[in-house]
Structures are given as structure tokens and as C-alpha cells.
Amino acid sequence: MCWHYSGSNEKSVAELTRLTSFTSDALFNPAESGRFSHERERRLLGDFLQNDSNPFHANHGWYRSTVQVRLPKEKMKFTSEMDPSIGTIKVDVHHRLLTDIIKSAFADAAASNFYMTPFEEYWEKSDGRTVKVYSEVYSSPEMLRVYQDVHSLPREASDDLERTVASLMLWSDATQLANFGDASLWPIYLYFGNQSKYTRGRPTASACHHVAYIPTVPSHSNYLHTPCTNCSA
């Protein structure tokens, strides 16, 4: 309570409660807090982000791009989603190139279990009936159609490379970043439909590829609502 009622008067009860979630965590070491320096920690964090050991470094195929996110304001009507009066905020997004992920996955040893040629599956029942089976992406009608489209494309005289289809399956869900606090973001993951769903479902298969990390919109974004200028997309 001494911390709460001293120093800045901008601390709220919610912030005090959030502080206790840090100090009560099993990983919190009171002995380390006596040597804490915000400037030192900020410098160390900056050095880590610039170091090649940072998993999000460009040398590991990661990029950081700034995108504008439109924020429709509550109780206000707009003519369309592209209305220039809709406010925006700028968000930094860490991401990888899909082409880099595809090349890496197909060059990996795990690609030996990929189905490069789609096919149809049928079940011949004991009563003599034949039933078409819909089970895997690589045996789906859409995969067969796209495969035929790719092989119908014209080739150059010197082109003798095998052609195949990379089936990309993207999904995302909110993820908590720590055992304490409320920091979170939205990772975007990629699976390959060329791989059996039974393989993709095994954590040890390492079938999941990280594509991007989308940060959550700041809680104070309502204060950042400013008209969008020169927004064409």
C-alpha cells in the first residue's frame, strides 16, 4: 500500500493488483529486485533484440513491418470500411515470408512423408457398395483440381522439374505470453495439407510453422483515434 499511495498519483487499484501477480509468482526472486535498474534492463533487452541469437532476428527469416489498423469509433457511422474519417493506429508485426517457409519445409527430412500427388480414396463395403472417402486434404476434390490446373500450365523447353501443390492451412488463436501479467498476442500458424492429419496432430512431429505474431490493440487505443490520412488500402 505504501507503493500505491506514494510517488505518482496515476496508479490504480487494478495496477496494484496486477503488481501482486508478479511478486507472488514462483519465478519472482526478491533478492534480484534490490539490484534492479530500468535503464540497464532496457539496454540489455535492446542488445538482445539486435543480437543474432534473438529468434526473431532477420537472419532467422523474420521481418518487422508496420501496418495501419483501422479503428471504427463506437457510436459513429461510416459510409464504408474505407471511409477516410475512420481512425487508425500503427502496429508493428513480426512475420516470415510464406515462400521461405515452403522452401524450408519441403527441403526438410519431414517432407519425405508429404503427399506430392493427390488421389481419391474409396471404401469398398462388405455389401458391395463403394463409398467415396473424404479424410485428408491431399485426397480432396479441391486439391485434385488445383493439381490439374498446375500441371496444365505451359512449360519452357528446359523445364523438367516436378510440379506439385503446397496446401497451406493457416490458423490463429490468442496466446498468453507469461505465467504472470496479462501480456498476450495472436500468433499465426501454418500447417501443410500435404501431410497426414495424424502426423500433424503429434506435437513431436514439429509440423507447425510460425508465420507471424500480431500484437493486441492497446487498451488505450480509444485515445489514439485520429482521422486516417492518405489511406488508400
Higher confidence at residue 232 or residue 91?
91
pLDDT at residue 135, rounded to an integer: 92
C-alpha cell at 90: 500503427
**What ranges in 129-216 are assigned the alpha helix state H?**
141-152, 197-200
Q: Taking residues 50-79, what's their average pLDDT?
A: 76
Global confidence as pTM: 0.66
Catalogue the E-assigned strands of the chain.
62-71, 87-96, 121-124, 130-133, 168-172, 175-176, 184-192, 209-215
CA distances from 200 to 76, 142, 208 (A): 45, 20, 8
Q: Which of 112, 111, 93 is nearest to 103 (CA)?
A: 111
Residue 28 to residue 22: CA distance in whole angstroms? 7
* pLDDT band at residue 219 under the 50/70/90 scheme: low
Q: Taking residues 175-200, what's their average pLDDT?
A: 83
* pLDDT band at residue 223 under the 50/70/90 scheme: very low
